[in-house]
Amino acid sequence: MSLSRRSFVQTVGVGTAGLWITSRGREGSLFAQGIQPVQGPAPSIILSSNENPLGTHKDVLAAIRTSAFPEAGRYPFATAAEVTALVAKKHGVKPENVLLGCGSTQLLRTCTHVFTTKTAGLVAAIPAYEECADYARLMGHPITGVKLRPSDLKMDLDALQQASKGAGLVFYCNPNNPVATAISGSDTRTYLSTLMKASPSTTVLVDEAYFEYGTMPGYETMIPLAVDNPRVVVARTFSKCFGMAGIRIGFAIGHKDTIAKMAAWDGVGDINVMALEGAKAALAVPDAWVTAEQKRNEAARSFTQKWFADRGYTPTDSQTNFMFINVKRPAREFRDACLKEGVLIGRDFPPYEKTHVRISVGSMEEMQKAVQVFEHALSQPAKAA
């Protein structure tokens, strides 16, 4: 990480939990990541941005082709209202509990804008998905990073609890990107109920972008809790499981007062009708398809995780469509070696950039090819540690 990146954000003191939060390279942007495939052709296997390797669900594409274009000359408000109602129905809540966003990114920014101030800042694990931290930094609001538990790279809930008191917003990324680990529903509820008493003005944003890929027993959504609790909001996305990352649509679910506060800052006017018609189709996809997609991802993930573990490179307990693996060498070294052979993996994730890499789960066929490249990259002695 360069010095200029380091200087982006300084945390406020929380004893030993205080750390730097790093700048984010947007998922999917090679140039923002500083990874430019300058040598030779573009990578043939892209495992860098946690996208669905099978692409967009076919019903979504069909709906965009057939239903969205006739509506393209209209502003999106009526269609947004329809999709809001469909999301509400799917999750057993009321439309007043739902706010759509241009990707969940918009909702992460909205929460940061609405719930942090110059004195009540943002708290997040470090590393975690950086959108909120980047936005808080832009606004000049304080940011506190809380180290992960070294043993399993899960969020350290005791340290997080301590750091969260007095915060405006806690970004609770579950499962957590980039480390792929998740916290159980019961542990999350304990953290939330303790915090609600200890810190009466703090809101918690539970990011469930990878919810569909979580397979560990006890992993749960916080949607039912958020609907009743004005200080908990859940963010979800269509980008991952439904392969709609480039289409840009997500949603937040929360208490009606919280959703109203968020909507007052930024409403649905930025969401295009293509995305809305696509989301309608995604919401109609049977749950059995989602289960099959979860299994497909899990099979390719387990195959790759085992491949690394068998060779002494430990992955975390991934509950997502990506893996975080200790390859015992700088990420850049491993990434550059892979890129030379056409496989693009994730960028650096400080403070783990000297040892760990993030690899998105591709199709089984892609992962079977990719491990041959990984084998080659790992067969070269590590140059720097």
3-state secondary structure string across 296-330:
HHHHHHHHHHHHHHHCCCCECCCCCCEEEEECCCC
Beta-bridged to residue 344, according to DSSP, are 46
What's the min distance (Å) between Cβ of 271 and ligand PLP? Answer: 12
Does residue 130 touch ligand PLP according to CB under 6 A?
no
Does residue 129 touch ligand PLP according to CB under 6 A?
yes
Q: Which of 25, 76, 103, 278 binds ligand PLP (CB under 6 A)?
A: 103
Does residue 366 touch ligand PLP according to CB under 6 A?
no
Does residue 104 touch ligand PLP according to CB under 6 A?
yes
Alpha helix positions (H), 45-103: 58-63, 77-91
Which C-beta is closer to ligand PLP: that of 305 or that of 319?
Answer: 319
What track of x and - describes contact with ligand PLP for positions 3 through 42 (by CB under 6 A)?
------------------------x---------------
What's the min distance (Å) between Cβ of 129 and ligand PLP? Answer: 4
Does residue 207 touch ligand PLP according to CB under 6 A?
yes
Among the listed residues 141, 136, 201, the one whose alpha carbon sits nearest the alpha carbon of residue 165: 201
Q: What is the dihedral of CA 377, 379, 384, 385, to 10 degrees?
A: 100
What's the min distance (Å) between Cβ of 301 and ligand PLP? Answer: 16
Q: Is 23 helix (H, G, I), strand (E, B) or coil?
A: coil
In angstroms, the CA 375 to CA 173 distance is: 31
Q: Which of 23, 105, 199, 229 binds ligand PLP (CB under 6 A)?
A: 105
DSSP codes joined into one string, 81-129: HHHHHHHHHHHTS-GGGEEEESSHHHHHHHHHHHH--SSS-EEEEESS-
Residue 367 tokens, joined: 């992962």
Residue 174 tokens, joined: 């579950």
Does residue 297 touch ligand PLP according to CB under 6 A?
no
User: How many angstroms separate the Cα of 274 from the Cα of each of 56, 140, 227, 330?
Assistant: 13, 35, 28, 41
Cβ-proximal residues to 158 (8 Å cutoff; 6+ apart), any chain:
none
What track of x and - describes contact with ligand PLP for positions 44 through 83 (by CB under 6 A)?
------x---------------------------------
User: How many angstroms separate the Cα of 5 from the Cα of each of 34, 36, 115?
Assistant: 12, 18, 25
Which C-beta is closer to ligand PLP: that of 103 or that of 315?
Answer: 103
Name the residue with tokens 């750390």: 19
Residue 102 tokens, joined: 């241009």
What's the min distance (Å) between Cβ of 244 and ligand PLP? Answer: 8
Question: Considering only residues 216-235, where is the footprint of ligand PLP by CB under 6 A?
Answer: none
Does residue 173 touch ligand PLP according to CB under 6 A?
yes
Question: Considering only residues 234-293, where is the footprint of ligand PLP by CB under 6 A?
Answer: 237, 239, 245, 250
In this chain, which residue has its C-beta nearest to ligand PLP?
A: 103
Q: No. of H helices and E strands in the chain?
A: 13, 11
Which C-beta is closer to ligand PLP: that of 101 or that of 168?
Answer: 101
Does residue 169 touch ligand PLP according to CB under 6 A?
no
Does residue 319 touch ligand PLP according to CB under 6 A?
no
* Chain residues in the site for ligand PLP (CB under 6 A): 27, 50, 103-105, 129, 173, 177, 207, 209, 237, 239, 245, 250
